[in-house]
Amino acid sequence: MLALVVIGASFGAQAQTCPVDVRNDIHIVDNTVSLYQEQQPKVLIDENYQLYINGQRVTLDDAQQKAVEAYSQHVQQYLPQVAAVAEEGSSMAKSVIAELASAFDSNEAFTEVDKLVDEYTLKAREKFYKDDQFVMPADIFTTAETSWKEEFEQVMQRLSGASMSAVFSALKEEMKDGELNFTEFQNKMSELKSSMENQIKIRSADVAEKAENVCDSMQGLAQEEQALHEKIPALKDYPMFEI
């Protein structure tokens, strides 16, 4: 639960502070990059780095061709990293759940919590991957601060209830064979808390660094796109990013 709170806060902070707008939907599939407006493809850079606007191939000189190639490669390299940061909390949460289950010696009790994290992971992935395509939605950072935040809070409520149920279930199993030693239990919980907090502190710092690097990459893409528009003015009507 703490892990998901951390990643939610990290991604929310990234959304608030990263000064880049995604102007249109961007699709990446089979080494091609496409820009969509109103669910229709408008710009395509194919696997050979040929440029098409509204289905018509644009003839490029050597300098323009090199700029398109570099830009396509950078888009394909950097954009999926946004999804990786958004999914990082799921990996962190599963580590925390595994540590809890091990501490209580009860994997079965935490099965439902683990399933909920898997469900959250799938939903997070579906925001970026559709029909084997990577899709960067337009206005992604604005959306992350509104509807995504509400959805995240709903997931947290479900996880909170399932986690408490798992803890009580595990405690009940421990008490079956005799009276629970609460002093030992308190010591175990204190050690577990310290271990989890240390783990989350380290990993959340890593997530924050990754989020900052992704933001830097996005700003770099926006600047590269501005330079590309100077070389190919026809692209100015189809912006991907804006600072």
What are the structural domain ranges in the chain?
21-242
Number of Cβ atoms within 10 Å of the Cβ of 200: 20
Per-residue pLDDT of the chain (243 residues; tens, 9 = 90+): 545 544 554 455 455 567 888 999 999 999 999 999 988 999 999 999 999 999 999 999 999 999 999 999 999 999 998 888 877 767 777 777 777 777 777 667 777 777 877 887 787 788 889 888 999 989 877 776 666 666 666 766 776 677 677 777 767 766 666 656 777 777 877 887 787 778 777 877 887 788 888 889 999 999 999 999 999 999 999 999 988
Helix residue spans in 35-131 (DSSP H):
62-104, 111-126
Q: Is 36 helix (H, G, I), strand (E, B) or coil?
A: strand
To the question of pTM greater than 0.85 for the whole model, the response is no
